[in-house]
Amino acid sequence: MTIEQLTDPCDSFTLGPLEAGPACCDPQPVIEVKNLSLRYHGKLALKQVSLDIYKGCITALIGPSGCGKTSLLSAVNRLTDLIPGCSVNGRILVQGRNIYDPDENVQALRRQVGMVFQKPTPFPLSIRRNLSLPLHEHGVTRKAEVADISEQALRDVGLWDEVCDRMDSAALNLSGGQQQRLCIARALALQPQILLMDEPCSALDPIASGIVEDLIGRLRGRYTVVIVTHNLAQARRIANYAAFFWVSEHAGQLIEFGRCQKIFESPRHELTAAYVNGVRG
Amino acid sequence: MHDAARKRSLRKLRENAAQCVIYSAVMLVSAVFIWLLIDLLRGGLSHLSWEFITELPRDAGRAGGIASILVSTLLILLVAVLTAVPVAWMTAILLAEFVATGSWFGKAVRFSLYVLAGVPSIVFGLFGNAFFCVYLGLGFSILSGGLTLACMLLPILASTAEAGLRAVPHIYRLTASALGLSRAAALLHLILPAAAPVMAAGLLLGIGRALAETAVLLFTSGYAERMPDSLLDSGRALALHIFDLSMNVPGGDEPAYASALVLVSLLLCINILAMKFAYGLQRSKLMP
Ligand SMILES: Nc1ncnc2c1ncn2[C@@H]1O[C@H](COP(=O)(O)OP(=O)(O)O)[C@@H](O)[C@H]1O
Ligand SMILES: [Mg+2]
If one compares B102 and A131, the residue with the highest pLDDT of the two is A131
What is the enclosing helix (H) or strand (E) of B204? helix B192-212
Query: What percent of chain B lies above the pLDDT cut of 90?
Result: 48
Query: pLDDT digits over A74-105, tens only?
Result: 999 999 998 888 999 999 999 999 999 989 99
Residue B33's contacts (CB-CB under 8 Å, 6 or more residues apart) are none
Average pLDDT over residues B259-267: 91
For ligand 1, atom 25, which residue shows the shortest CA distance?
A66
| Separation of alpha carbons B39 and A249, rounded Å | 73
Tell me, what amino acid is at A12? S
Query: What percent of chain B lies above the pLDDT cut of 70?
Result: 95
Tell if the CB–CB gap between B285 and A138 is shorter than 8 Å.
Answer: no
Average pLDDT over residues A221-226: 92
Average pLDDT over residues A191-205: 92
Tell if the CB–CB gap between A129 and B286 is shorter than 8 Å.
Answer: no
Chain A interface, best mutation among B97, B99, B175, by max A CB count within 10 A:
B175
pLDDT at B271: 84
Tell if the CB–CB gap between B179 and A137 is shorter than 8 Å.
Answer: yes
Band (A19; pLDDT cuts 50, 70, 90): very low
**How does the average pLDDT of chain A come out, rounded?**
87
Query: What percent of chain A lies above the pLDDT cut of 70?
Result: 90
Any idea which of A63-77, A116-130, B41-55 has the lowest mean pLDDT?
B41-55
| DSSP code, position B58 | E
For ligand 1, atom 4, which residue shows the shortest CA distance?
A40
Query: In chain A, what residues touch B180 (CB-CB under 8 Å)?
Result: 107-111, 134, 137-138, 190
Any idea which of A189-203, B35-49, B193-207, B266-280 has the lowest mean pLDDT?
B266-280
If one compares B2 and B21, the residue with the highest pLDDT of the two is B21
Helix (H, G, I), strand (E, B) or coil at B63: strand
pLDDT at A27: 79
pLDDT at A6: 38
Inter-chain Cβ pairs, chain A and chain B, closer than 8 A: 76
Query: In chain A, what residues touch B190 (CB-CB under 8 Å)?
Result: 123-125
Tell if the CB–CB gap between A126 and B174 is shorter than 8 Å.
Answer: no
Tell if the CB–CB gap between A126 and B287 is shorter than 8 Å.
Answer: yes
How many angstroms is it from A45 CA to the middle of ligand 1? Answer: 7
Band (A116; pLDDT cuts 50, 70, 90): very high
Each residue of B45-72: b (16+ CB within 10 Å) or e?
A: eebbeeebeeeebeebbbebbbbbbbeb
Residue among B207, B197, B187 at smallest CA distance from B161: B197
Query: pLDDT digits over A38-69, tens only?
Result: 999 999 999 999 999 999 899 999 999 999 99
User: Which mutation among A67, A117, A198, A245 tests ligand 1's pocket best, with the greatest number of atoms within 8 A of CB?
Assistant: A67
pLDDT at B282: 60
Atom of ligand 1 nearest to the CA of A73: 17
Average pLDDT over residues B82-110: 92
**Rounded to 10 degrees, what is the CA torsion of A120, A124, A125, A131?**
-30
- Report the 3 state secondary structure along chain A: CCHHHHCCHHHHCCCCCCCCCCCCCCCCEEEEEEEEEEEECCEEEEEEEEEEEECCCEEEEECCCCCCHHHHHHHHCCHHHHCCCEEEEEEEEECCEECCCCCCCHHHHHHHEEEECCCCCCCCCEHHHHHHHHHHHCCCCCHHHHHHHHHHHHHHCCCHHHHHHHCCCEHHHCCHHHHHHHHHHHHHHCCCCEEEEECCCCCCCHHHHHHHHHHHHHHECCEEEEEECCCHHHHHHHCCEEEEEEEECCEEEEEEEEEHHHHHHCCCCHHHHHHHCCCCC
Each residue of A184-211: b (16+ CB within 10 Å) or e?
A: bbbbbbbbbbbbbbbbbbebbeeebbeb
Query: Residues whose CB is under 5 A from ligand 2 (ion)?
Result: A 70
**Residue positions counted in chain A:** 281
Decide if pLDDT at B1 tops 60. Answer: no
For ligand 1, atom 1, which residue shows the shortest CA distance?
A83
Residue B27 phi/psi, 5-degree rounding, is -60, -40
ipTM, interface predicted TM-score of the complex: 0.85
**How does the average pLDDT of chain B come out, rounded?**
88
Band (A180; pLDDT cuts 50, 70, 90): very high
Query: In chain A, what residues touch B287 (CB-CB under 8 Å)?
Result: 125-126, 168, 170
Tell if the CB–CB gap between B178 and A125 is shorter than 8 Å.
Answer: no
pLDDT at B61: 81
Domains of chain B: 50-286 (1.10.3720.10)
**Pocket lining for ligand 1, CB < 6 angstroms:** A 40, 45, 65-71, 83, 85, 252
Each residue of A123-147: b (16+ CB within 10 Å) or e?
A: bbbbbbbbbbbbbebbebeeeeebe
Residue A231's contacts (CB-CB under 8 Å, 6 or more residues apart) are A201, A202
Residue A195: closest C-alpha in chain B: B178
User: Which mutation among A70, A202, A249 tests ligand 1's pocket best, with the greatest number of atoms within 8 A of CB?
Assistant: A70
